[in-house]
Amino acid sequence: MGLTELKLKELQEKKFDKLFEKHRKEWVDLANQAFAAARDHICGGNAPRPDDILKMLLPMLEPNETLRKHQEDNKARFKHYRESFGEFIIDRVFFNPQEE
């Protein structure tokens, strides 16, 4: 897993980067919740790795109405877009804070 250049381009084509910017606080809050849950429930109190955070983030994204509406409006309904967007969120929040 991981955010590749191809996934990033696909997300940009479907305007997921704009979705992130428009609702930044919502995504940062979810990412922080997923980080804490992964740390506490997967990693025994240690800092989680990106894939561990993603395991906790994906169930939070699945019912998210903001994301679901964006997927519908941009014809990006496939599950892989949600997973790639989760990787995008983790990348922006934890690994590229200058872009955050």
Segment 16-66, tens digit of pLDDT: 999 999 999 999 999 999 999 999 999 999 999 999 999 999 999 999 999
> Number of helices (H) and strands (E), helices first, in the chain?
6, 0
Cα–Cα dist 18/2, whole Å: 20
Is residue 98's pLDDT more than 90? Answer: no
Residue 80's CB: how many other CB atoms inside 10 A? Answer: 10
